[in-house]
Amino acid sequence: MHNKSRLFSLAAVLFWVAALFGADHPNFSGKWKLNVDKSDMGTTGVTALIVDVSHKDPVITYTVRGTAGGQDFEQTETFTTDGKPSRDSQGANVTSHWEGAALVGQGTGDDGTVLYTLRLTLSEDGKSITRVFTQKDDPQPRHEIYEKQ
């Protein structure tokens, strides 16, 4: 009987640990501004970006407004963090999932070819996001630093 009690206690502890780790994902909600000086944007021509994020796990919706190559643009995307596929505004199939506190995403073509990968992490103080983005045709990752506004 004593072993069953220990087993039940261990199961309860494991349940709560799993629940706590599941709730330990960062929330990316807020307005974020690209710090161009701290970022490595490669040859994108991006000179300014502001991103408004609404994150209600598992759904993230964001609107990005910026300037690239002297042209202003605006784009809105919605995806989930639970691995369910969605389609972005460029037609890629997108899946995202948590790896610990990092949000990892991948965009693929209809034939399964990987078009891009990304990894988002929130700083411990919650004041900056690091986004590492790699495109199929440009294997050099872009390292982008966004600061909370």
Q: How close are the terminal C-alpha atoms of the chain, in Å? A: 57
Beta bridge partners of 142: 133
Write out pLDDT tens, residues 99-143: 999 999 999 999 999 999 999 999 999 999 999 999 988 878 999
Domains of the chain in start order, with CATH, are: 2-148 (2.40.128.20)
Question: pTM higher than 0.75 for the full model?
Answer: yes
In angstroms, the CA 5 to CA 83 distance is 36
Write out pLDDT tens, residues 46-93: 999 999 999 999 999 999 999 999 999 999 999 999 999 999 999 999
In angstroms, the CA 70 to CA 122 distance is 29
In angstroms, the CA 90 to CA 98 distance is 23
In angstroms, the CA 28 to CA 55 distance is 6
